[in-house]
Amino acid sequence: MRSLLVRSLLALACAVPLPLAAQERRLEPVDEAAKDMSWVNFRNRLLAALDRRDRKFALAALDRNVRNGSDAPRGIVEFRKQWHLDADDSPFWGELRSALGLGSAWLAREKRPRELCAPYVLAKWPEDIEPTKNGVVVAREALVKSEPSSASQTIATLSHVIVGVGDWEVDDKDAGSTQKWVRIWLNSGIGYVPEEQIRSPIEHAACFIKTEDGWRMTVFGPAGRD
């Protein structure tokens, strides 16, 4: 389930439907730090901490000057407040696990050290494609449905392609189902994919730097290259 902030940003961006001009563009998954065992070990420990909701480990993994948005103070105290880490239902655990599960790529920002960002979508997004009105199918062989229902007709199969998006959160036709769908634009018309199988480049991304004391998270929030 996408966070309220990200859903609001994406809804505003898709207020006017905009089919993707270059629909066949691909964005293959990468994991550029997969051979760095220090990163692999840290990521595995962090994933395990997320599963057990280990606040102590999560907070220790933050850079002391972690960025919390352009208008918010930096630092761990503000991060803890923004993510409601003291609440049992904080979205932090699921959002970060989702980001880490999609591979990572290096991103060089102006006037900042190079950071390793997860998911890879942020760092690898093509500069000539509008990020707010498009997304990438992050699943392999995702089934595109004619309606927002797993029982509906499959009209296409997509793997790691960039598509235009008309609506980022569509309810399932079955009122008893909690599955959410994303309405996408195809050359042949409109289709639907499960929301967990497509990612926006402006969704939450986590970025990390390697320090003398190990890996530290420098930002986790709606993605941006600046």
Give the phi and the psi of residue 219 in degrees, each rounded to 5.
-165, 145
For the chain, give every domain's residue range.
4-222
Antiparallel, parallel or unpaired: β 162-171 and 62-67:
unpaired
Nearest by Cα to 61 from 202, 203, 205, 207: 207
The pLDDT value given to residue 187: 87
Residue position matching structure tokens 């709606």: 222
Antiparallel, parallel or unpaired: β 204-211 and 214-222:
antiparallel
Residues 1-23 as b or e (16 or more Cβ within 10 Å = b): ebbeebbebbeebbeeebbbeeb
pLDDT tens readout for residues 140-150: 999 999 999 99
pLDDT tens readout for residues 168-179: 999 999 999 999
pLDDT tens readout for residues 64-108: 999 998 788 999 999 999 999 999 899 999 999 999 999 999 999
Under the banding of pLDDT at 50, 70 and 90, the label for residue 225 is very low
**For residues 182 and 131, what is the distance between their CA atoms, to the nearest angstrom?**
16
Output the six-digit token pair for 99.
Answer: 């980001």
Nearest by Cα to 122 from 104, 97, 139, 98: 104
Task: List, in sequence order, the alpha helices (H) in 18-90.
Answer: 37-51, 55-60, 76-82
Strand order in the sheet with 162-171: 154-158, 142-145, 189-194, 180-186, 162-171, 134-137, 198-199
- pTM score: 0.85
Q: How far is residue 128 from each of residues 9, 89, 107, measured CA to CA in Å?
A: 20, 38, 17
